[in-house]
Amino acid sequence: MVDLARVQKELHECNRDFQVSGINVSLKGDSLTHLIGTIPGPTGTPYEGGTFNIDITLTDGYPFEPPKMKFATKVWHPNISSQSGAICLDILKDQWSPALTLKTALLSIQALLSAPEPDDPQDAVVAQQYLRDHQTFVGTARYWTETFAKTSTLAADEKVHKLVEMGFPEAQVRSTLAATGWDENMALEKLLSS
Amino acid sequence: MEDYGSSDEDIYSSDQDSLDGLENDESDSQWGSSTGNSCKVITRESLLVAQREDLWRVTDLLSLREHHARTLLIHYRWDVERLLAVLVEKGKNCLFAEAGVPVLEEVDVDSYVSSSTVTCDICIEEVAGSEVTKMDCGHCFCNDCWTEHFIVKIKEGQSKRIRCMAHKCFAICDEAVIRQLVSKRHPDLAEKFDRFLLESYIEDNKMVKWCPSIPHCGNAIRVERDEFCEVECSCGLQFCFSCLSEAHSPCSCWMWELWTKKCQDESETVNWITVHTKPCPKCHKPVEKNGGCNLVSCICGQAFCWLCGGATGRDHTWSSISGHSCGRYKEDQEKKSERAKRDLYRYMHYHNRYKAHTDSFKQESRLRETIKEKVANLESKDSRLRDFSWVTNGLYRLFRSRRALSFSYPFAFYIFGDDLFKDEMTNAEKEIKQHLFEVQQQQLEANVEKLSKAFEEPFDDYEETHIMEMRMQVLNLSVVTDTLCKKMYECIETDLLGALQFSSHNIAPYQSKGIERATELNGGRSAKANNIIPCQKAHDQTNGGSIEFVQPSGCGTSDEIGCSSRKRTRKDSGGGFFDLNLPAELIDRN
């Protein structure tokens, strides 16, 4: 069985210092075993300014078995499959330790975004481009960030507008939307419960 | 060959005495516990005894506790020499660190217990100081979390190397703690864990292998020096120690694998395995890729490239994938179809001969019974001829030579073929060598057939003088085929395999006496072992003088005892046995 008490504590802990880390973990549905993690693209990388959603599934053995994580947002990176979002990271496989948490795992993924390891590629095409034509790589990665990892301003404005019309202050609406990965329904639930 | 002709004459002209000498040499007693034997049978009962020797060497040398010694030995795959080499080369700390043995011994455990509650970093709960366990590496977590961790790892098949839960801590957990915690919740898993640890001596040790018998006899075989040998287990199965398939010398294991694959009809399973798995380059188990990148790591820890199946380090680089020749197209399509036809005829040539000899071998095995009858008939006659060991010895010689002969055909198929050794010999060289080899092979073949024919004769009805003639003939043919086998092996080992430059093929050497029978394992270090024989047992020994197998006290059911004593007969039990249920430390103290 998943250690639900620990997951709850982790969620609480993680969302408490959201302001510092920018990393957020929230429920996908009403089960504690399906979660969505959000990490901001690290500054100084082609991923800067993007918000990346990561699909998290906890197996029965968690935390003694690693959580299953993959990118839900499309991303151009040598160690992340551009097709499936699968992540090639040792701590998600044999180097997992029960002492690690969802937050530390997400931080490691964020670190992976800043420091790709093209020598151990998940996506051969991306890795090849990274090594041989770095300029193009940076361009593609930035383009993908712009296209997939940024909620289009138009759609975002629309969501903000909708919620403001319901009577919530705009600043709160924006921060809640950001925290929920721009999920309108989840943001509304949060706003209502706060 | 002239050389051969002269030796042939020598043998025919040699007097009877020398032949009798040979005869004695070949007598059945050769299978007794000859001292030269290096292969040992390890049974379920003697598994612990078998590894004691190695454990003791390490515990003594490094003054370690047994479980640390076991961790070291598992890491170095029970190769004590290599372990010692690392010790000399890199020092104790490095040796320990690589194997995950904590260098700090026995930190003060009580310091934790004194404080009333501790926060466990895994479940993030406050736990009473009595409910936590601190490992040798210094990391402390609550017992529930440890237990859960151990259970997951045991179920994953990682029993032999369960690491501490702390991130980036490579220490291996104390097996006593694991046993104690797991047995509280899951006694059967704890048992499984124990078995995994014990069997590491077989699984991870290149000098020890399970007997491949089906259904499994429960035994393992240990060789001392050469892993390229053929051996007979106490269950009667003969096999190649190196690849665990049937004995196939002078074919190398690689050739034999290719040959059997070629001969076998491809079943669905084989199809699936070839399509979906690759053999691990280290342990050769088929590995299925279930996702992730092309750097695959086998459960044994070996990393390899999924594209070419070659072993890689963990520092697999991008360029080494792209540079693989496995992706290159080698054959010229046109030449291919032409060659295929020629290859098929060539294969049929060798396969027909291989098959013919294997079939003869099977038929001759049935001869054993008729020959027994014939010998019985002769013995019942009132004749001055008494000794008929030449019949059985000759028959064994026939079996062994027939076997070598039949496997020499697949060997020839590969060694003179175009695939495996294409770059090793020029065509001219190949022609000469092939000719030389075939001359040897044909001479052997001719004499094997003569020997076989002799046994078909109704010699039990012959006159005495006629039988004496036959005896001479069989004895001579036995010596000749033996010599010819030796020569063929010499040619194979030096002229053919020995000359290879780009690949290395090892074969089990020719044994004039046939496949070696593994003997039962002796009870460990005699000096120490003697001390711990229970008094009663020692008493029994002095009384009995020669006794059958001594069952270790308090171990095994009566059923097992019956089985073991049937299997083992030993006159000298001076080596002694000790209680397998006692931990080594206890035995040591005694």
Interface test with A, best of B120, B122, B305, B312 (most A CBs within 10 A): B122
**pLDDT tens for each residue of A5-26:** 889 888 888 888 888 888 888 8
Determine, yes or no, domain membership for A9: yes
What's the Rg (C-alpha) of chain A? 17
Q: What does chain B come to in residues?
A: 590
Strand ranges inside B59-203, DSSP E: 117-120, 125-128, 132-134, 140-142
**pLDDT tens for each residue of B87-96:** 999 988 888 8
**pLDDT tens for each residue of B28-60:** 444 433 444 478 899 888 888 888 888 998 888
The domain locations on chain B are 2-34+339-508, 110-185, 522-589
The contacts of residue A22 (CB under 8 Å, 6+ apart) are A39, A40
Question: Which chain B residue lies closest to A59 (C-alpha atoms)?
Answer: B152
Percentage, residues of chain B above pLDDT 70: 72
Q: Is the CB of B169 inside 8 Å of chain A's CB atoms?
A: yes
Q: Which of residues 71-100 of A touch B (CB under 8 A)?
A: 86, 88, 91, 93-94, 97-100
The neighbouring-strand residues paired with B358 are none
Region B505-514 average pLDDT = 87
Q: Is the CB of B503 inside 8 Å of chain A's CB atoms?
A: no
Q: Give the count of domains, chain A.
A: 1
Measured between beta carbons, which residues in chain A are less than 8 angstroms from residue B322?
A: 128
Q: What is the CATH number of the domain that holds A134?
A: 3.10.110.10
Per-residue pLDDT, B106: 52
Ramachandran angles phi, psi of B329, nearest 5°: -85, 120
CB A78, CB A121: distance < 8 Å = yes
Whether B123 and A6 lie within 8 Å, measured CB to CB: yes
Determine, yes or no, domain membership for A95: yes
CATH T-level assignment (fold) for domain B2-34+339-508:
Four Helix Bundle (Hemerythrin (Met), subunit A) (1.20.120)
Question: Which chain B residue lies closest to A66 (C-alpha atoms)?
Answer: B152
**Taking the CA of residue B257 as centre, how many other CA atoms within 13 Å lie in the half-sphere pointing to its CB?**
11
| Cα distance between residue B475 and residue B471, in whole Å | 6
Nearest CA-CA partner of B442 in B490, B405, B417: B405
Measured between beta carbons, which residues in chain B are less than 8 angstroms from residue A64?
A: 145, 148-149, 151-152
Q: Is the CB of A121 inside 8 Å of chain B's CB atoms?
A: yes
Region B556-579 average pLDDT = 37
**Taking the CA of residue B70 as centre, how many other CA atoms within 13 Å lie in the half-sphere pointing to its CB?**
25
Question: Which chain A residue lies closest to B150 (C-alpha atoms)?
Answer: A64
Q: How far is A176 from chain B (nearest CA, A)?
A: 28
Q: Is the CB of B297 inside 8 Å of chain A's CB atoms?
A: yes
**pLDDT tens for each residue of A109-163:** 999 999 998 888 888 889 889 999 999 999 999 999 988 888 665 667 778 888 8
Q: How confident is the model at residue B115 (pLDDT cuts 50, 70, 90)?
A: low
Q: Is the CB of B548 inside 8 Å of chain A's CB atoms?
A: no
Q: Is the CB of B144 inside 8 Å of chain A's CB atoms?
A: no
Interface test with B, best of A120, A128, A137 (most B CBs within 10 A): A120
Q: Is the CB of B125 inside 8 Å of chain A's CB atoms?
A: yes
Q: Which residue has the tokens 């103290």?
A: B589
Q: How far is B48 from chain A (nearest CA, A)?
A: 31
Determine, yes or no, domain membership for A47: yes
Whether A119 and B148 lie within 8 Å, measured CB to CB: no
Per-residue pLDDT, B586: 42
More confident residue, B184 or B386: B184
Determine, yes or no, domain membership for A190: no
Per-residue pLDDT, B527: 36
Q: Which of A139-153, B6-20, B123-137 has the highest mean pLDDT?
A: B123-137
Measured between beta carbons, which residues in chain A are less than 8 angstroms from residue B290?
A: none
Give the H/E segment covering residue B311.
strand B311-312
> Is B562's pLDDT higher than 70?
no
Catalytic residue (choose from A88, A107, A131, A179): A88
Q: What does chain A come to in residues?
A: 194
CATH T-level assignment (fold) for domain B110-185:
Herpes Virus-1 (3.30.40)
Q: How far is A185 from chain B (nearest CA, A)?
A: 31
Nearest residue, CB atoms, A97 vs list B123, B166, B297: B166
Percentage, residues of chain B above pLDDT 90: 22
CB A82, CB A125: distance < 8 Å = yes
Q: Is the CB of A117 inside 8 Å of chain B's CB atoms?
A: no
Determine, yes or no, domain membership for A162: no
Q: Amino acid identity, residue B533?
A: I
**pLDDT tens for each residue of B524-535:** 444 333 333 333
The contacts of residue A82 (CB under 8 Å, 6+ apart) are A74, A75, A76, A123, A125, A126
CB B521, CB B46: distance < 8 Å = yes
The contacts of residue B492 (CB under 8 Å, 6+ apart) are B250, B408, B411, B437, B507
| Cα distance between residue B575 and residue B541, in whole Å | 12
ipTM score assigned to the predicted complex: 0.77
CB A28, CB A34: distance < 8 Å = yes
Determine, yes or no, domain membership for A126: yes
**Active-site positions of B?**
293
For residue A164, is it left (φ>0), alpha (ψ between -120 and 50) or beta? alpha
Q: Is the CB of A3 inside 8 Å of chain B's CB atoms?
A: yes
Region B400-419 average pLDDT = 90
Measured between beta carbons, which residues in chain A are less than 8 angstroms from residue B165?
A: 97-99
CB B241, CB B228: distance < 8 Å = yes
The neighbouring-strand residues paired with B397 are none
Q: Is the CB of A1 inside 8 Å of chain B's CB atoms?
A: no
Per-residue pLDDT, B11: 42
For residue B204 the two structure tokens come to: 């991870």
Q: Is the CB of A40 inside 8 Å of chain B's CB atoms?
A: no
Measured between beta carbons, which residues in chain A are less than 8 angstroms from residue B293?
A: 88, 120-122
Region B127-152 average pLDDT = 91
Question: Which chain A residue lies closest to B291 (C-alpha atoms)?
Answer: A86
* Domain that residue A135 falls in: 4-150
More confident residue, B107 or B347: B347
The torsion defined by the Cα of B231, B236, B238 and B239, in degrees rounded to 10, comes to -80
For residue B430 the two structure tokens come to: 């190949």
Per-residue pLDDT, B341: 62
Q: Is the CB of B165 inside 8 Å of chain A's CB atoms?
A: yes
**pLDDT tens for each residue of B266-284:** 444 555 666 677 778 777 7
Q: How confident is the model at residue B376 (pLDDT cuts 50, 70, 90)?
A: confident
Nearest CA-CA partner of B461 in B390, B373, B558: B373
Nearest CA-CA partner of B93 in B82, B103, B104: B103
Q: Is the CB of B384 inside 8 Å of chain A's CB atoms?
A: no
Nearest residue, CB atoms, B121 vs list A94, A99, A131: A99
Determine, yes or no, domain membership for A132: yes
Whether A94 and B297 lie within 8 Å, measured CB to CB: yes
Per-residue pLDDT, B523: 53
Size of interface A-B (CB pairs under 8 A): 58
Strands B519-520 and B40-42, how do they pair? parallel
Ramachandran angles phi, psi of A188, nearest 5°: -60, -45
Q: Is the CB of A9 inside 8 Å of chain B's CB atoms?
A: yes
DSSP code string of chain A: ---HHHHHHHHHHHHHTHHHH--EEEESSSSTTEEEEEEEPPTTSTTTT-EEEEEEE--TTTTTSPPEEEESS---BTTB-TTT-BB--GGGTTT--TT--HHHHHHHHHHHHHS--TTS-SSHHHHHHHHH-HHHHHHHHHHHIIIIIS--HHHHHHHHHHHHHTT--HHHHHHHHHHTTS-HHHHHHHHHH-
Determine, yes or no, domain membership for A180: no
Interface test with A, best of B143, B147, B167 (most A CBs within 10 A): B167
CB atoms within 10 A of CB B239: 21
Whether B122 and A63 lie within 8 Å, measured CB to CB: yes
CB A101, CB A10: distance < 8 Å = yes
**B564-571 contacts: CB < 8 A, separation 24 or more?**
B564/B43, B564/B45, B567/B43, B567/B234, B567/B520, B568/B234, B568/B520, B570/B33, B570/B520, B571/B546
Interface test with B, best of A3, A12, A16, A104 (most B CBs within 10 A): A3
CB atoms within 10 A of CB B329: 6
Lowest mean pLDDT among B22-26, B52-56, B392-396: B22-26
Per-residue pLDDT, B544: 37
Q: Which residue has the tokens 């250690």?
A: A3
DSSP-derived secondary structure letter, B278: E
Q: How confident is the model at residue A57 (pLDDT cuts 50, 70, 90)?
A: very high
Measured between beta carbons, which residues in chain A are less than 8 angstroms from residue B122?
A: 6, 63, 98-99
| Cα distance between residue B178 and residue B163, in whole Å | 11
Q: How far is B65 from chain A (nearest CA, A)?
A: 27
